[in-house]
Amino acid sequence: EDQVTQSPEALRLQEGESSSLNCSYTVSGLRGLFWYRQDPGKGPEFLFTLYSAGEEKEKERLKATLTKKESFLHITAPKPEDSATYLCAVQAPSGNTPLVFGKGTRLSVIA
């Protein structure tokens, strides 16, 4: 069973067209939810960690939010350099439990 489901699989935006990516999860007692950015041919790069419902984190044009069942990555006025695959991952309550990743959303921002 999937613990982490990301949607959409791919998203194409015009430069300046704001949108949101979704990450829904089924882990009970979430310890943390993580967002990563991955550029082609590179390893994932850490963006945010969210720990509790209602929490928000921001970085430049990105804002991540968390509810009890899902997280959103909001992209405001995106630029072509925001094009990448965005990965969501969750960690179960046990401290040593490795992260479980979703399959990602591939974002393309067209100038």
Partner 1 sequence: NAGVTQTPKFRVLKTGQSMTLLCAQDMNHEYMYWYRQDPGMGLRLIHYSVGEGTTAKGEVPDGYNVSRLKKQNFLLGLESAAPSQTSVYFCASSLQGNGYTFGSGTRLTVV
Q: Give me 4's structure tokens.
A: 């982490």
Peptide bond into 78 cis (omega under 30): no
Among 60, 81, 96, 111, which residue interacts with partner 1 (rule: CB under 8 A)? 96
* Angle formed at CA 72 by CA 70 and CA 75, multiple of 5 degrees: 175
Q: Give me 94's structure tokens.
A: 């046990």
For the chain, report the end-to-end CA distance as a whole number of angstroms: 38
Q: Which stretch binds partner 1 (CB under 8 A): 21-29, 55-63, 71-79, 93-101?
A: 93-101
Residues 6+ positions from 11 with CB-CB distance below 8 Å = 19, 21, 105, 106, 107, 108
Among 1, 68, 98, 111, which residue interacts with partner 1 (rule: CB under 8 A)? 98
Q: Closer CB to partner 1, residue 43 or residue 54?
A: 43
Q: Which stretch binds partner 1 (CB under 8 A): 17-25, 54-62, 71-79, 92-100?
A: 92-100
Contact flag: residue 40 with partner 1 (CB under 8 A): no
Contact flag: residue 49 with partner 1 (CB under 8 A): yes
For partner 1, the binding residues (CB under 8 A) are 31-32, 34, 36, 41-46, 49, 87, 89, 91, 95-104
